[in-house]
Amino acid sequence: MKRALARAQGLFARGAMVGLFASVATTNLACGGSTPAPVKPPPTPLHLAPACDLAPAAGLEWIVAVTPRAIADVPDLIPTIARVVPEERFASFAAAHGGIDLRRADDLCVARYRRGGAEKSSTLSIVHGPIDPARLEKAFGERSSNNVERTITSQDPLVVRLAGSLDGERRELGLFGRELVVSSEGSPALFHAAEAFAFGKLKRAQPALRGAALGRAAEVLGNAPVRVFFPGPFEGDTGKGLGGLLRASTAVATSASFGGAPSKINVRLVLVGAWGSDASSAAERLAAAIHVVSESGLGQLFGLHRPVTAPSVKATDDALILDATIDGMALARGLHDALDAEVTEIMGR
């Protein structure tokens, strides 16, 4: 009996000591006796897609929105693409630009802008897709003719801004983590606007394809792997185009998408304007003007005089819409013959 009592007293004493230590530990924590681990701030929120959401509207001459991966993944289009841009040209571009294969990009946006008081234009290029920031930074430094300025604008994710000079033109390059690169040639303001859109700083501004000039054109055009936009006004000789309809248009847009084997291409042309009660007659004028274009030397060069599906035109109060299906290989041959020198220059940048 005495042994049992002694054992109970021992257990009670040990329990009391454990409780005492726990109480002291809790008190120390409450009083700041132990330093808590620092809380890591959340990553900087970035808006990076679609790529053209980073392109400003002011001063825009034209803008091209492409989803290259969606095009390259269509086997029937591989010969057509190769006719316009051969494999070796893609390879040389990747070698000079940090390993970027434009065919594997998820989203590509290229925009041309008027440069105030100068004959030259400025260009903004945005590639959304897997990138290697270290290789891109190295390639930019090797191509720059002066010392490259390097600025870190975000640590998480890492956003780096590079500035240098290539071929006598000022260039900016922005690397947004491992998923997007922004390049501007000419005006630094373009790059800073794109960067501000990415960081969500331009609350009152709209990007090019969401603004008043092109927003309606983008809506009517719909989604397509290739889209091209031209904001108005169209004046002078340009305004005389398409039977004078361009003069009354506030925006023009066109798109292309795969229409079936072997290389059918569905195309859509949209003219935005206040057509109102004149919409039906304007649609007839557009159909006549397109016929003239397709039978011209340029139209025959692109194979437009022999469409797979003849053009059809419909009209609303604010848009003229033309749809047709053309031979993609004939178009590719025409583009190669007409634009090969320009494509070579663009890919060499």
- Percent of the chain at pLDDT exceeding 70: 86
Backbone region of residue 39 per phi and psi (left: phi > 0; alpha: psi in -120 to 50; beta: other values): beta
Has residue 224 got a pLDDT over 80?
yes
Strand, helix or coil for residue 327: strand
Read off the pLDDT of residues 225-264 as tens digits, 9 standing for 90 and up.
Answer: 999 999 999 999 999 999 999 999 999 999 999 999 999 9
Read off the pLDDT of residues 121-151 as tens digits, 9 standing for 90 and up.
Answer: 999 999 999 999 999 999 999 999 889 999 9
pLDDT at site 117 = 59
Interval 182-201 mean pLDDT: 96
Read off the pLDDT of residues 25-63 as tens digits, 9 standing for 90 and up.
Answer: 333 434 445 667 777 788 999 999 999 999 999 999 999
If one counts every other C-beta atom within 10 angstroms of the C-beta of residue 256, the result is: 19
Interval 284-304 mean pLDDT: 95
pLDDT at site 118 = 56
Question: How does DSSP assign 79-148, residue by residue?
Answer: HHHHHHS-HHHHHHHHHHTTT--GGG-SEEEEEEEEPTTSSSEEEEEEEES---HHHHHHHHHHH-SSPP
Has residue 341 got a pLDDT over 90?
no
Beta partners for 183?
125, 173
pLDDT at site 339 = 78
- The region of weakest confidence among 89-103, 123-137, 161-175, 334-348 is 334-348
Read off the pLDDT of residues 62-75 as tens digits, 9 standing for 90 and up.
Answer: 999 999 999 999 99
If one counts every other C-beta atom within 10 angstroms of the C-beta of residue 60, the result is: 21
Look over the chain and give the mean of its residue pLDDT values, rounded to a whole number: 88
Rounded to the nearest 10 degrees, how much is the dihedral formed by the CA atoms of 84, 238, 227, 276?
-150
pLDDT at site 1 = 39
Helices (H), the chain: 2-30, 68-72, 78-84, 87-96, 133-143, 188-198, 215-221, 236-239, 279-295, 297-301, 328-347
pLDDT at site 344 = 57
What is the spatial distance between Cα 230 and Cα 208, in angstroms, rounded to a whole number? 10
What is the spatial distance between Cα 35 and Cα 14, in angstroms, rounded to a whole number? 29
Q: Which domains does the chain have, with CATH numbers?
A: 43-67+106-206 (3.40.1000), 212-349 (no CATH)
pLDDT at site 168 = 84
Has residue 11 got a pLDDT over 80?
no
Residue type, 329: M
Work out the pLDDT band at 207, boundaries 50, 70, 90.
very high
